[in-house]
């Protein structure tokens, strides 16, 4: 299907190009002959040249019309067929004329006169074919009357011109001579009338069409009027007008395609022309009557014919005007009915608008009242929200302080539990020790007074079992209990072996270990209370700094050990995570960053607290540090929790954003971490899956010669 359509388009384009070739060739050829005629004086050559350019121009025009017909489709193909048929008939007449000239057959009317006049009617049929489905019936009637009126007007003028020179010409010759201009000029009139009737856009092709028909008709009118008196001369402008007009018809037959999208600005002018057209017809008829009265020697019968034509034309003009009046009356009635319907519609719409306006006024009043109530409710809601935020913030602060306060409480209770016992017995027991026993006691007391930092429960259990085995081999009956006490005091299995070398056997050894454990726990608890107090102070200071917005603060440059700070923080949670959380710290001792220790302490506190919470205080935490290109240490804190959902990953660093239950967090922890890290010219980011989350903190490595 596409191939067939493409082939048709190619053939159509080829035919159109061939048509242009013949038209341009015809114009060039005829112009050359016109030039020869201009410089030729011999009458016989002039006659030959005239016949040649007549025949050539008609042949080229007919060929172009044929290619125009072949290259067109649909509606254009139908009216172009009639254009081609008219030019072909005219070409046939010219060929017959050439034969007559060669055979010197000059009878009139001649056989060629049978073919020439059909040019006009064929073009009129082509116009009618085009107008048939595009013009309403009433307008078509008006157009037909206009065409008939103009044809009669042309006939009247032609009769006046011809009959004044008739002399003894027979009526058949006179009729044959009148047919030529009447048919051609009638076709030109129909072409002109198409423009205001259909508002066809005026184009070069349309102008060539009108000019070709009018030029042919005027040329025949002039040539025949001369023929009535004498044989027309050769090589005249009238003879050239035939060829030029026919070539214009050939060009328009090839290219004219009516464009019905005329500009609206011309509509008023075109309507005015249609209204004054009957007046023009009457004026033409009046001119014919005046000529018939002023020309001398005109037979009375001719005057009667002219007057009859004028009368018929006036009648046609009157009928045309009556049709227009009828159309106007119908249009006026339609407009009147439309106005009445419009008035009813406007009245109904006005009533609807009045009702709608009343409804809108009432609704607006209700809306104003509702807005006032809504504003009050909004103020109450804002106040309630402020109180709710304040409540959440206070609850979160309380939660942040609960951890150090819990450590203080548990340590205090431990001290009180010792002091509630007869502590004087502990002093008396110590006083009863000899010098060697006091040395063993002092070693155990010193180790027990330091906060416990071994948080790997698996490793811790191995140490307890090994210590228990050593004590059992040494003959202690309560080896299990002594192993727990010695391990909690920070003694490794090797150190237990070392202590056994000086520790008395039996009850005396147990007494020394138990006494050192009880008294050292007071020192250990005191240290935990101090550390917890520092953490609580740091929490309050961090919130205070956040609220104050210390934008101009710059960190203090000092060497900070992340490992020491993290171990100190975990110590506060020891009682809560013991036997529940395995902590693997792989931070080398040489890992030191530069910055403010107080601020960095907040970072580790928040990240470790979040890790415990993500695992619900049960799981494993891996803490590692890697040196990145000698300039930065990357500390990673990995938990085995449930991970961070994808939909909130972009919000975890937002202030006051928290996934914890009310009272368990402020939503400021990670925001504080981000601000502190960026203050230290570092970066913080995280990765999270269903099996856990890892936070990475990149901080400048400590270099004495390189400040932050």
pLDDT tens readout for residues 186-201: 888 778 777 766 667 7
pLDDT confidence of 335, banded at 50, 70, 90? confident
Per-residue pLDDT reduced to its tens digit, 44-71: 888 888 888 888 999 999 999 898 888 8
Q: What is the pLDDT of residue 693?
A: 93
Task: Tell me the pairing of strands 581-586 and 619-628.
Answer: parallel
Q: Is 456 exposed, middle or buried (0-12, 13-18, 19+ CB in 10 A)?
A: middle
Helices (H) and strands (E) counted in the chain, each on its own, are: 20, 7
φ/ψ of residue 81, rounded to 5? -65, -45
> What residue has token string 């249009």?
331
- Report whether 608 contacts 569 (CB < 8 A): yes
The average confidence (pLDDT) of the chain is 76
Of residues 270 and 220, more confidence is placed in 220
Range 176-180 average pLDDT: 75
Residues 489-514: b if buried by 16+ CB within 10 A, e if exposed: bbbebebbeebbeebbeeeebbbbbb
> What residue has token string 């034309």?
313
Per-residue pLDDT reduced to its tens digit, 379-392: 777 776 665 555 54
Tokens of 521: 């726990």
pTM more than 0.75: no
Could you tell me what percentage of the chain is helix, strand and coil, using 3-state DSSP and rounding each to the nearest 5? 75, 5, 20
Per-residue pLDDT reduced to its tens digit, 89-142: 989 988 988 888 888 776 777 788 888 888 888 888 888 777 776 666 666 666
| CA proximity to 117, closest of 93, 137, 136 | 93
Q: Identify any residues that bridge with 700 across adjacent strands, giving them in sequence order.
A: 632
Q: What is the pLDDT of residue 708?
A: 46
Domain positions in the chain: 11-330, 421-531, 555-562+571-700
φ/ψ of residue 255, rounded to 5? -115, -20
Of residues 488 and 278, more confidence is placed in 488
Phi-psi region of 697 (alpha: psi -120 to 50; beta: other; left: phi over 0): beta
Q: DSSP of 461-530, one letter per residue?
A: HHHHHHHHHHHHHTT-TTHHHHHHHHHHTT--HHHHHHHHTTSPSTHHHHHHHHHHHHHHHHHHHHHHHH
Task: Tell me the pairing of strands 619-628 and 632-639.
Answer: antiparallel
Per-residue pLDDT reduced to its tens digit, 3-50: 555 666 777 788 888 888 988 988 898 888 888 888 888 878 888 888
Q: How far is CA 555 from CA 560, 598, 636, 669, in A?
A: 12, 9, 22, 19
Measured at the alpha carbon of residue 308, what is the angle toward residues 303 and 313, in degrees to the nearest 5? 125
Q: What is the pLDDT of residue 270?
A: 47
- Report whether 471 contacts 499 (CB < 8 A): no
Q: Which CATH number fits domain 555-562+571-700: 3.40.50.720, 3.40.50.300, 3.30.565.10, 3.20.20.70?
A: 3.30.565.10
């Amino acid at each position: 299907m596409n191939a067939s359509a493409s082939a048709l388009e190619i053939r159509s384009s080829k035919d159109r190009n061939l048509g242009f070739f013949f038209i341009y060739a015809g114009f060039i050829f005829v112009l050359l002959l016109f030039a020869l005629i201009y410089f030729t004086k011999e009458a016989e050559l002039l006659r030959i040249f005239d016949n040649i350019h007549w025949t050539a121009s008609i042949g080229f025009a007919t060929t172009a019309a044929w290619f125009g017909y072949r290259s067109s489709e649909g509606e254009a193909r139908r009216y172009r067929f009639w254009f081609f048929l008219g030019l072909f008939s005219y070409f046939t007449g010219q060929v017959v004329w050439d034969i007559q000239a060669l055979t010197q057959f000059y009878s009139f009317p001649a056989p060629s006169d049978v073919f020439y006049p059909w040019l006009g009617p064929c073009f009129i049929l082509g116009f009618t074919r085009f107008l048939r489905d595009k013009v309403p019936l009433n307008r078509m009637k008006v157009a037909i009357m206009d065409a008939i009126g103009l044809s009669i007007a042309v006939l009247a003028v032609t009769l006046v011109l011809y009959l004044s020179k008739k002399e003894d010409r027979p009526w058949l010759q006179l009729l044959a001579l009148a047919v030529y201009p009447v048919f051609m000029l009638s076709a030109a009139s129909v072409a002109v009338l198409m423009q205001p009737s259909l508002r066809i856009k005026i184009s070069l092709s349309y102008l060539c069409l009108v000019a070709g028909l009018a030029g042919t008709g005027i040329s025949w009118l002039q040539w025949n009027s001369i023929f009535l008196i004498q044989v027309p001369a050769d090589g005249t402008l009238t003879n050239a007008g035939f060829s030029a007009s026919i070539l214009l018809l050939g060009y328009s037959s090839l290219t004219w395609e009516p464009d019905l999208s005329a500009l609206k600005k011309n509509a008023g002018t075109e309507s005015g022309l249609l209204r004054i057209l009957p007046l023009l017809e009457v004026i033409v008829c009046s001119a014919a009557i005046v000529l018939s009265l002023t020309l001398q020697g005109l037979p009375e019968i001719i005057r009667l014919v002219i007057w009859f034509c004028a009368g018929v034309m006036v009648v046609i003009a009157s009928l045309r005007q009556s049709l227009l009046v009828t159309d106007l009356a119908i249009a006026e009635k339609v407009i009147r009915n439309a106005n009445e319907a419009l008035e009813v519609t406007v009245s109904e719409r006005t009533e609807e608008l009045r009702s709608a306006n009343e409804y809108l006024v009432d609704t607006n009043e209700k809306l104003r009242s509702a807005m006032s109530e809504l504003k009050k409710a909004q103020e109450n809601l804002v106040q309630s929200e402020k109180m709710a935020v304040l409540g959440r913030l206070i609850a979160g602060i309380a939660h942040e302080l609960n951890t150090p306060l819990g450590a203080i409480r548990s340590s205090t209770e431990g001290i009180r539990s010792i002091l509630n016992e007869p502590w004087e017995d502990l002093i008396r027991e110590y006083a009863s020790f000899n010098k060697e026993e006091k040395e063993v006691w002092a070693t155990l007391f010193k180790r027990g007074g330091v906060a416990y930092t071994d948080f790997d429960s698996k490793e811790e259990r191995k140490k307890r079992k090994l210590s228990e085995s050593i004590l059992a081999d040494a003959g202690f009956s309560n080896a299990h209990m002594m192993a727990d006490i010695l391990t909690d005091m920070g003694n490794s299995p090797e150190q237990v072996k070392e202590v056994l070398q000086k520790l008395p056997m039996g009850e005396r050894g147990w007494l020394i270990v138990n006494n050192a454990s009880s008294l050292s726990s007071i020192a250990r608890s005191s240290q935990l209370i101090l550390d917890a107090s520092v953490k609580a102070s740091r929490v309050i200071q961090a919130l205070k700094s956040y609220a104050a917005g210390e934008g101009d603060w710059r960190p203090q440059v000092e060497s900070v050990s992340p490992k020491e700070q993290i171990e100190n923080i975990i110590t506060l949670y020891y009682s809560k995570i013991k036997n529940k959380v395995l902590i693997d710290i792989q931070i080398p001792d040489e890992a030191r960053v530069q910055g403010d220790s107080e601020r960095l302490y907040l970072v580790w506190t928040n990240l470790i607290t979040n890790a415990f919470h993500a695992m619900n205080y049960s799981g494993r935490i891996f803490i590692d540090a890697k040196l990145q290109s000698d300039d930065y240490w990357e500390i990673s804190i990995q938990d085995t929790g449930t991970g961070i959902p994808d939909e909130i990953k972009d919000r975890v660093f937002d202030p006051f954003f928290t996934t914890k239950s009310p009272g368990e967090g402020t939503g400021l922890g990670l925001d504080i971490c981000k601000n502190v890290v960026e203050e230290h010219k570092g970066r913080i980011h995280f990765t999270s899956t269903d099996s856990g989350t890892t936070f990475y903190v990149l901080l400048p490595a400590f270099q004495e010669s390189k400040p932050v």
